[in-house]
Structures are given as C-alpha cells and as structure tokens.
Amino acid sequence: MTEYKEIATPSRTREILKKHGFSFKKSLGQNFLTEPNILRKIVETAAVDKQTNVIEVGPGIGALTEQLAMNAAQVLAFEIDDRLIPVLADTLTPYDNITVVHQDVLKADLIGTSQSVFKQELPLKVVANLPYYITTPIMMHFLESDLDVSEMVVMMQKEVADRISAKPGTKAYGSLSIAVQYFMEASIAFIVPKTVFIPQPNVDSAIIKLTKRARPAVEVTNEQAFFKLTKASFQLRRKTLWNNLIHYYGKDEATKAWLTASLTEAEIEPSRRGETLSLEEFARLSNTLEKNVKS
C-alpha cells in the first residue's frame, strides 16, 4: 500500500465524492473531516488500541472509521444514509475489522447489535464525529442504553460540548450537564476549526472526552425522580428554584408544604436558581423529596 492515501486528505475525499457522485445532505448533518492529523488526534485522545472495540456513529465516507480500524480490535459503525453504504464498501475494502450497519443509530438495539458483531468482550468506546442536529439524543441514547461504554470521545458543536462539561454556577450548566456528569467525567479535549470540514459548518466544534465513573457521581434513591427534578429546575431559566418546582410539581397547598419542608431539610434556599446547585445538592433535595410523603 505504498501509494495509499488516507481517506481524510482533501484530495482523496474529493476524488471519492466525485467517483460516487455524492452530494451532501445538510438535513443529515453531513460535514466530513478532511484533516488526517485531527483524526489521529481523536484516536489518540480515545486511547484506542487492539484491546478496544469501538462504536462509531455516522462514518460518512469512512475517514475516521479507517483510522479507528487501524488501531482498534473491531469497529461497528451505524450509518443512516443508504447512498453511503456502497461508498463505504469501496473505501473500507482494505479493512476486515469493520462492520457497517445501515440504520438510524437512535433506533438501533445497541446491546443486541454489539453482542452479535463483536467477537471478543473487550472495553468498548464510542468514537465519532456526530451529526450535529441530533447530538444530545445520541448522547442520551448511549447513556440510557445500559451498554457498558468505558469512554466516549466525540466531536460536537462547541456550544453543546460547553454545556455537557459545564460546572455549577456557569451559564452553560443545566440538566444536560447533570445527565451526562452523573454517569461520566467530562472534559473538553480540544477545539476543531470549521475549516477542516467539507462543507464547512457554521459553528466551531469541540472534541469532548467522557470517562465512565466507577459509580454515579452522587447517590440517589430514585434515578428517574432525580433526573425529573433536575430537568424541572432548569425549565424556566430566569426563575428561581421555587418557581420552577411549583411550576412542575404543582401549586396546591399540599405540594407547596412538601416542597418547603424538603427544601428546608435539604438546606437549600428556594430563592436560588437551578444553575447554582451542585450535583450533590440536587441529589440531597431529590432524596429528601422521595423520603418525605406529600400529605
């Protein structure tokens, strides 16, 4: 393979697109990476090696898939666009450790498909340049799937990466930060300029690294109730915690008494705003609300 050029080089990408007469669909978030150095940096950040299985979402023409295949044990990639399936069969011919599944990842049975594709039980990582129109649903689909993912290294709009990794007291902090940070430790690995994609997106991108915690960040007695509380607390962004809580749980006297007693017991001022509460404080409040019965 001395003549071989990586898929991600701008000239090879153009050649592949031309050969297959491919036109981009904006509605599918198709912005392809054309910078091999960035792809290598993504693979390095994810520390993918031959003892790692990888799931990729949206392989496109295979630029990242190829780099993953060179380093990982096996790669399972979900691609929704039927026009890309023959392109991938062509570009990824040299690799025998890639399985492309033609499916909307949001509808995929992640556990069932992983079990049937991966030959060995190895640590599993998700590495992807995500389609930006469904970044959050994809993240939630993986987090809520019970699939044992040790790490996610994914590219997304910088603004969403900021929200996911945000700390309490900042503008970007919200229910998404909590939903992700409950399960995973989150940090932004590096920023990617718009110029390395074709077509160029309108916004800057970031690679976020999420590492699964040995156990959730806080102890809660009822996970569903905890996530409902955090969502409710950010519903009306400019309002106080109290206003958000009565808006969600109800304005009747019994509910107000239950909320007041629980806030007092959890030592949380009702006049605070949701974005000032730490995960520990949300957990304390959720556990107190669960324990106290509404009369």
Residue closest to ligand SAM when measured from CB atoms: 58
Span interacting with ligand SAM, options 29-37, 176-184, 185-193, 211-219, rule CB under 6 A: 29-37
CA distances from 285 to 148, 177, 238 (A): 29, 18, 20
Neighbours of 293 (CB within 10 A): 6
**Which lies closer to ligand SAM via its Cβ, residue 132 or residue 227?**
132
CA 48 to chain centre: 18
Pick from 79, 151, 162, 275: which binds ligand SAM (CB under 6 A)?
A: 79
Q: Is 129 in the site for ligand SAM (CB under 6 A)?
A: yes
Pick from 38, 43, 54, 58: which binds ligand SAM (CB under 6 A)?
A: 58
Matching residue, tokens 């054309």: 34
Binding mask 205-244 for ligand SAM (x = CB under 6 A): ----------------------------------------
Burial 124-148 (b: 16+ CB within 10 A, else e): bbbbbbbbbebbbebbebbbeeebe
Span interacting with ligand SAM, options 86-94, 129-137, 239-247, 248-256, rule CB under 6 A: 129-137
CB of 70 to ligand SAM, least distance (A): 15
Pick from 12, 16, 29, 55: which binds ligand SAM (CB under 6 A)?
A: 29
CB of 133 to ligand SAM, least distance (A): 7
Q: Cα separation of 146 and 170, whole Å?
A: 30
Pick from 12, 16, 32, 163: which binds ligand SAM (CB under 6 A)?
A: 32
**Which lies closer to ligand SAM via its Cβ, residue 66 or residue 151?**
66
**In terms of Cα–Cα distance, which of 216, 294, 225, 283 is closest to 261?**
294
Matching residue, tokens 């399936």: 85
The CB-side HSE value for 126 (13 A sphere, CA atoms) comes to 28
Contacts of 47 (CB under 8 A, 6+ apart): 151
Q: Cα separation of 17 and 27, whole Å?
A: 18
Pick from 16, 38, 48, 63: which binds ligand SAM (CB under 6 A)?
A: 63
Q: Is 142 in the site for ligand SAM (CB under 6 A)?
A: no
Q: Cα separation of 127 and 293, whole Å?
A: 44
* Site for ligand SAM, rule CB under 6 A: 28-33, 57-60, 63-64, 78-81, 84, 104-106, 129, 131, 134
